[in-house]
C-alpha cells in the first residue's frame, strides 16, 4: 500500500492542475445534481418490527384517517388566569377570545374548522365536550362519576377553571416544514395575551422551527482549529490548508447527501452528523500528512519525493484510520433504525471523501504552492536537539516520564477513568421532549404548566388499539379492554376515545399518573404488554400499544438489543484491521481495552453533566436514547485514528531497528505533537456543537468532545505507551501461522527507498518550516 500511495502522492504533486480540475469538476457536478434532482428530506419516523409500529399499522388498518404521530405539527397553547381567577372571568374571557382569533389567523394554520376542532375557547369547548360525554354515558348506561372523570381527563379546561389548552395542528406535511414566520406570529399572539394579564406558553412539535445544527458551531470549531494549526506549523499558509481542504470535502459530502435524496429517503438530521464528523476528520487527516511532509523536508530538498513519502506513510495510516471510522459508522445499519442508518451512512460517505481529499487534493495543493507551502510564517520553530542530532521535544520528554513508572501510569489511568464511569450506573435513556427542554423555553414552561394544572400524564398518553373483528360481542370486548387498562397500576384514566364505522375497532387512551419521561410510565407500558396476551384471549381481540411514549420506549429497547451485535461487528472488524496494520495481537488488544475505558468514562461524564446536572452547566435531563450506541461507534473510530497515527510511527521506528522502548520514544518524538494538535482540533469542533439549541446535537457534541479528551490525551498518550513499555518486545507478538495469512500492507513504508535518511541535518539552519539538507 505504501508504494501505491507513494506513487499517487507524487503524481498528484506533479500533475496538480489535473487533480485540482478533477476535484472542482466533481464539486460542480455534485452541486448541480443537488440543485436539480434532489427531493425534500423525509423525516417520517418509522421503525419496522417494533411493537408500537405494529400497533400503529393496526390503527391505520382500522382507522385509515388516523394521523401519523411524528408527522403532526401540533401546537398546544397553554393559557392560565392569575391565581384566584378563572378563564371564565369576563376580562380574561375577552383576552382568550382575542388569542383564539389570532391563532386562527396564524400562517400555515388550516382555515377549515373541521381540521382543528379544539381551536377555540377552552371554557366553551369544555362545557360542550363534557355534556357530550355525559349524554353518551347515559345512553350506554355508564355511571355518571366515571363519565365525569373521563370528561375531565380529556377536557381542555383544568378542574378549577384557571387553565386551558388550545390545541391545533399546522397544515404542513411534517414539523420540519414549519416556517419561522409562523413561529414569529405565534409569539406575537402570545405576547398580546400576556399583556392582557394571562400566562401563555406553547409546546408541541409545531411550536418551533426544527433545526439540526447550524453554521455557528462549525464556525467556532474552525476558528479554534485555525489557532491550533497556526501554533503547530507557525505558518498562515500551512495552517489554512487543512481547514480549506476539509471544508471543501465537507461541501462535497453534504451536497452529495442532498443529491442522494433523489434515490433514497434521508432524514434531515443526516447533515448534522456528516458536518460534525467530516469537518473533524478532514482537518485531522490532512494535518497528519502535512506534518509528515514537513518532517520529510528535514531530510530532502526534493519536494515531490517528500510528498510521495508523506502520502505513502502517513497516507497509509490515514487510509486505515478512515477505514475504522467507516466500519463504525456503517455498522450503525445493524440497529435497523432507518434514521440512524441514514445518519451513519451519510457520515461514512463524508469520511470517505475526507480520506480521498487528504490523499489527492492536499498533494495537488502542495504541488501548486511548492516552496510557498509554509509561507506566511508567524514564528520560527527551532527545537532543541539531542547529542545524536534527534529532535528533543515535549513528546520525547513525556514518553520518558511515562517510561520511568509505566505500571503506576497505567494503574492511575485505569482508576481515574473508572471513577469517571461510576455515574453510568444511574443512566436513564429517553428521547428529548418538551418536558426536558431548557427551563427558559416556552416549550418547557408550557409542559410544566400543563403538568401542574392537568396532571403529569396529560402530555404522554398511551394509546391502545383494539381489533375486535373476531370478538363475539365487539362492544363488550372494547368495554372489557378499557376496564382492564384502567385497573393497571399507575393509570390515572383509561377511556374509549372512539370506534371505527362498524364498531369492530377502537382506540383507548390511557393517561398515566406519571410524565412521559418518568420510569413509572415505562413500567406501566411493560405491564400493559405483559398482560396483553391474557386480555386478548379473554376478549377475542387483538390489541397493540402505541403513541409517542410507546414508540420512544421501543426505540430504546431496539438500541439496547442491537448493542452486543454492533460491538461484535465494529470491534471484530477493527481488530482484524489493526492486526493487519501492526502485525501484532497485543497492540489491537491494548487499543480495544483503552477504547472501552474511554467510552465508559465518556458515558459516565455525560450522565453526570447532562443527566444529573453536575456543576450546574446543563439542566438535568435524560440521555437521548441513541447516544450510547452512536457514541460507541464514533468514538471507536476516532480512538483507532489516534492509535493508528501514534503507533504506526512507533512501529516504523521498530521496523527500522529500534528496541520497543526506544521506538516508543521516537514515535512520540515524531507524532505526539501532531496527535495532540489533531485531538485539540477535534475537541474544538465537537465542543462548538454544545452551543446548539437542539438537545440531541448539544449532548452529542459534549459526549464526542469528552471522548476525544479522554481517549487521545489520557488513553493514547499515557495508557498505551505505558502498556508498550511493560510488554516490551512482546508487544509485537504474532503467531507464525497468522503472520503467513495476514497481508503485508507496509504501512510504515519499509519498501520505500529513502537513502537520504543517512545524511545529517544542519541543526543551525534546519527548522520545521524550511529545513536545509547538508551534503
| Full DSSP string of 732-755 | G---HHHHHHS----TT-TTS--G
pLDDT in the model for residue 767? 39
Q: Which helix (H) or strand (E) holds 677?
A: helix 660-688
Indicate the residue among 500, 522, 546 that finishes a domain: 546
Q: Which helix (H) or strand (E) holds 599?
A: helix 586-606
Considering the domain architecture, whether residues 145 and 266 belong to the same structural domain is answered as: no
Nearby residues of 548 by Cβ (< 8 Å), 6 or more positions away? 69, 70, 460, 516
Considering the domain architecture, whether residues 520 and 569 belong to the same structural domain is answered as: no
Average pLDDT over residues 480-488: 94
Q: Burial-class residue 520 by CB neighbours within 10 Å (0-12, 13-18, 19+).
A: middle
pLDDT in the model for residue 772? 31
Calculate the dihedral angle through the C-alpha atoms of 247, 249, 255, 257, rounding to the nearest 10 degrees.
-120
The confidence band for 27, taking pLDDT boundaries of 50, 70 and 90, is: very high
The answer to whether residue 379 sits within a structural domain is yes
The confidence band for 75, taking pLDDT boundaries of 50, 70 and 90, is: very high
**Contact assessment for residue 434 and residue 444, using Cβ atoms and an 8 Å cutoff:** yes
The answer to whether residue 439 sits within a structural domain is no
DSSP state of 499: E
Residue 692, SS3?
coil
Using one digit for the tens of pLDDT, what is the confidence trace for 107-144? 999 877 677 888 889 999 998 888 888 887 777 777 78
| Domain boundaries, position 473 | 49-66+462-546
Q: Which helix (H) or strand (E) holds 623?
A: strand 623-624
pTM of the predicted structure, to 2 decimals:
0.78
- Structural domains counted in the chain: 3
**Contact assessment for residue 209 and residue 183, using Cβ atoms and an 8 Å cutoff:** yes
| Mean of the per-residue pLDDT values of the chain | 85
Distance of CA 695 to the CA centre of its chain: 10
The answer to whether residue 591 sits within a structural domain is yes
The C-alpha cell that represents 352 in the structure block: 470517505
Considering the domain architecture, whether residues 97 and 55 belong to the same structural domain is answered as: no
For 338-395, the three-class secondary structure string (H helix, E strand, C coil) is: HHHHHHHHHHHHHHHHHHHHHHHHHHHHHHHHHHHCCCCECCCCCCEECCCCCEECHH
The answer to whether residue 241 sits within a structural domain is yes
For 545-580, the three-class secondary structure string (H helix, E strand, C coil) is: EECHHHHHHHHHHHHHHHHHHHHHHHHHHHHHHHHH
Whole-Å CA distances, 160 to 81, 129, 424, 452, 496:
11, 16, 42, 12, 25
Considering the domain architecture, whether residues 496 and 604 belong to the same structural domain is answered as: no
Considering the domain architecture, whether residues 233 and 381 belong to the same structural domain is answered as: yes
First to last CA, the chain: 31
**Contact assessment for residue 116 and residue 168, using Cβ atoms and an 8 Å cutoff:** yes
CA distance 487 to 489: 7
pLDDT in the model for residue 768? 40
Considering the domain architecture, whether residues 107 and 154 belong to the same structural domain is answered as: yes
Q: What is the greatest pairwise CA distance in the chain?
A: 106
CATH number for the domain that contains residue 533? 3.30.70
pLDDT in the model for residue 116? 85
Considering the domain architecture, whether residues 137 and 29 belong to the same structural domain is answered as: no
Using one digit for the tens of pLDDT, what is the confidence trace for 33-68? 988 888 777 666 667 788 988 998 899 899 888 777
Average pLDDT over residues 658-677: 89
pLDDT in the model for residue 44? 62
CA distance 300 to 450: 72
Considering the domain architecture, whether residues 521 and 669 belong to the same structural domain is answered as: no
- How crowded is residue 34: how many other Cβ atoms within 10 Å of its Cβ? 18
Whole-Å CA distances, 636 to 146, 573, 577, 688:
56, 12, 13, 21
Nearby residues of 483 by Cβ (< 8 Å), 6 or more positions away? 494
Considering the domain architecture, whether residues 284 and 407 belong to the same structural domain is answered as: yes
pLDDT in the model for residue 571? 81
**Contact assessment for residue 92 and residue 85, using Cβ atoms and an 8 Å cutoff:** yes
Residue 79, SS3?
strand
Considering the domain architecture, whether residues 238 and 368 belong to the same structural domain is answered as: yes
Indicate the residue among 517, 546, 575 that finishes a domain: 546
Distance of CA 563 to the CA centre of its chain: 16
β pairing state of 429-430 and 462-467? unpaired
Distance of CA 594 to the CA centre of its chain: 22
Q: Find the angle CA(20)-CA(240)-CA(648) to the nearest 5 degrees.
A: 85
- Tell which wins on pLDDT, 332 or 189: 189
The confidence band for 273, taking pLDDT boundaries of 50, 70 and 90, is: confident
The answer to whether residue 438 sits within a structural domain is no
Which of 8-12, 259-263, 430-434, 627-631 has the weakest average pLDDT?
A: 430-434
Considering the domain architecture, whether residues 658 and 709 belong to the same structural domain is answered as: yes
The confidence band for 276, taking pLDDT boundaries of 50, 70 and 90, is: confident
The answer to whether residue 391 sits within a structural domain is yes
Considering the domain architecture, whether residues 414 and 500 belong to the same structural domain is answered as: no
Residue 13 clears pLDDT 90, i.e. is over it: yes
- Tell which wins on pLDDT, 262 or 100: 100
The answer to whether residue 450 sits within a structural domain is no
The answer to whether residue 631 sits within a structural domain is yes
Indicate the residue among 527, 546, 565 that finishes a domain: 546
Amino acid at each position: 500500500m505504501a508504494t501505491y500511495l507513494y506513487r499517487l502522492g507524487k503524481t498528484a504533486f506533479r500533475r496538480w492542475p489535473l487533480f485540482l480540475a478533477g476535484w472542482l469538476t466533481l464539486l460542480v457536478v455534485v452541486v448541480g445534481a443537488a440543485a436539480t434532482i434532489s427531493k425534500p428530506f423525509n423525516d417520517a419516523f418509522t421503525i419496522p418490527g417494533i411493537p408500537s409500529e405494529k400497533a400503529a399499522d393496526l390503527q391505520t388498518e382500522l382507522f385509515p384517517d388516523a394521523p401519523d404521530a411524528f408527522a403532526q405539527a401540533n401546537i398546544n397553547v397553554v393559557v392560565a388566569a392569575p391565581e384566584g381567577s378563572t378563564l371564565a372571568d369576563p376580562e380574561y374571557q375577552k383576552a382568550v377570545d382575542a388569542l383564539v382569533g389570532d391563532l386562527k389567523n396564524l400562517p400555515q394554520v388550516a382555515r377549515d374548522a373541521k381540521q382543528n376542532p379544539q381551536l377555540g375557547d377552552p371554557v366553551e369547548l369544555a362545557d360542550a365536550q363534557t355534556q357530550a360525554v355525559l349524554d353518551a354515558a347515559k345512553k350506554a348506561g355508564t355511571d355518571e362519576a366515571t363519565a365525569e372523570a373521563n370528561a375531565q381527563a380529556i377536557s381542555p379546561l383544568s378542574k378549577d377553571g384557571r387553565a386551558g389548552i388550545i390545541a391545533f395542528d399546522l397544515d404542513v406535511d411534517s414539523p420540519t416544514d414549519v416556517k419561522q414566520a409562523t413561529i414569529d406570529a405565534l409569539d406575537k399572539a402570545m405576547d398580546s395575551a400576556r399583556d392582557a394579564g394571562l400566562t401563555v406558553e406553547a409546546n408541541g412539535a409545531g411550536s418551533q422551527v426544527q433545526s439540526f445544527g447550524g453554521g455557528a458551531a462549525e464556525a467556532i470549531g474552525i476558528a479554534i482549529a485555525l489557532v491550533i494549526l497556526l501554533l503547530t506549523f507557525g505558518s498562515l499558509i500551512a495552517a489554512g490548508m487543512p481547514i480549506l481542504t476539509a471544508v471543501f470535502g465537507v461541501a462535497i459530502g453534504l451536497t452529495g447527501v442532498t443529491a442522494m435524496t433523489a434515490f433514497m429517503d434521508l432524514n434531515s438530521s443526516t447533515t448534522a452528523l456528516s458536518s460534525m464528523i467530516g469537518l473533524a476528520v478532514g482537518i485531522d487527516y490532512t494535518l497528519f500528512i502535512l506534518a509528515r511532509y514537513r518532517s520529510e523536508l528535514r531530510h530532502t530538498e526534493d519536494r515531490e519525493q517528500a510528498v510521495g513519502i508523506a502520502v505513502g506513510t502517513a497516507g497509509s495510516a490515514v487510509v486505515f484510520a478512515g477505514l475504522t471510522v467507516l466500519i463504525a459508522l456503517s455498522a450503525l445499519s445493524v440497529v435497523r433504525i432507518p434514521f440512524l442508518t441514514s445518519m451513519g451512512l451519510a457520515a461514512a460517505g463524508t469520511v470517505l471523501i475526507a480520506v480521498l481529499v487528504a490523499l489527492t487534493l492536499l498533494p495537488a495543493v502542495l504541488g501548486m504552492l511548492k516552496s510557498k507551502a509554509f509561507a506566511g510564517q508567524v514564528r520560527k520553530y527551532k527545537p532543541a536537539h539531542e547529542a545524536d542530532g534527534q529532535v528533543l521535544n515535549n513528546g520525547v520528554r513525556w514518553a520518558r516520564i511515562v517510561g520511568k513508572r509505566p505500571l503506576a501510569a497505567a494503574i492511575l489511568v485505569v482508576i481515574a477513568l473508572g471513577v469517571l464511569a461510576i455515574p453510568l450506573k444511574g443512566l436513564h435513556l429517553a428521547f428529548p421532549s418538551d418536558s426536558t427542554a431548557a427551563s427558559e423555553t416556552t416549550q418547557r414552561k408550557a409542559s410544566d404548566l400543563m403538568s401542574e394544572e392537568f396532571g403529569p400524564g396529560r402530555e404522554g398518553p398511551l394509546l391502545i388499539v383494539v381489533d375486535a373483528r373476531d370478538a363475539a360481542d365487539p362492544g363488550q370486548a372494547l368495554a372489557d379492554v378499557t376496564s382492564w387498562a384502567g385497573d393497571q397500576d399507575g393509570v390515572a384514566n383509561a377511556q374509549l376515545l372512539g370506534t371505527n364505522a362498524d364498531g369492530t375497532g377502537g382506540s383507548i387512551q390511557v393517561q398515566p399518573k406519571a410524565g412521559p419521561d418518568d420510569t413509572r410510565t415505562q413500567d406501566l407500558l411493560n405491564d400493559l404488554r405483559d398482560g396483553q396476551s391474557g386480555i386478548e384471549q379473554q376478549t377475542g381481540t387483538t390489541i397493540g400499544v402505541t403513541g409517542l411514549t410507546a414508540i420512544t420506549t421501543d426505540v430504546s429497547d431496539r438500541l439496547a438489543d442491537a448493542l452486543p451485535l454492533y460491538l461484535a461487528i465494529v470491534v471484530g472488524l477493527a481488530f482484524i484491521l489493526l492486526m493487519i496494520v501492526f502485525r501484532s495481537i497485543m497492540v489491537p488488544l491494548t487499543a480495544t481495552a483503552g477504547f472501552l475505558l474511554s467510552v465508559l468514562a465518556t458515558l459516565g461524564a455525560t450522565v453526570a453533566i447532562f443527566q444529573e446536572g453536575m456543576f450546574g452547566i446543563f439542566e438535568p435531563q435524560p440521555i437521548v436514547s441513541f447516544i450510547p450506541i452512536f457514541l460507541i461507534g464514533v468514538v471507536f473510530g476516532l480512538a483507532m485514528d489516534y492509535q493508528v497515527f501514534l503507533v504506526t510511527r512507533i512501529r516504523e521506528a521498530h521496523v527500522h531497528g529500534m528496541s520497543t522502548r526506544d521506538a516508543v520514544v521516537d514515535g512520540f518524538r515524531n507524532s505526539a505533537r501532531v496527535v495532540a494538535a489533531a485531538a485539540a482540533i477535534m475537541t474544538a469542533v465537537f465542543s462548538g456543537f454544545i452551543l446548539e439549541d437542539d438537545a440531541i446535537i448539544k449532548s452529542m457534541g459534549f459526549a464526542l468532545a469528552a471522548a476525544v479528551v479522554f481517549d487521545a490525551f489520557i488513553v493514547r498518550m499515557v495508557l498505551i505507551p505505558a502498556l508498550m513499555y511493560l510488554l516490551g518486545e512482546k508487544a509485537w507478538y504474532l503467531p507464525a501461522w497468522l503472520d503467513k495469512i495476514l497481508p503485508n500492507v507496509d504501512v510504515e513504508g519499509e519498501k520505500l527507498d529513502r537513502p537520504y535518511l543517512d545524511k545529517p541535518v544542519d541543526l543551525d539552519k534546519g527548522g520545521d518550516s524550511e529545513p536545509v539538507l547538508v551534503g
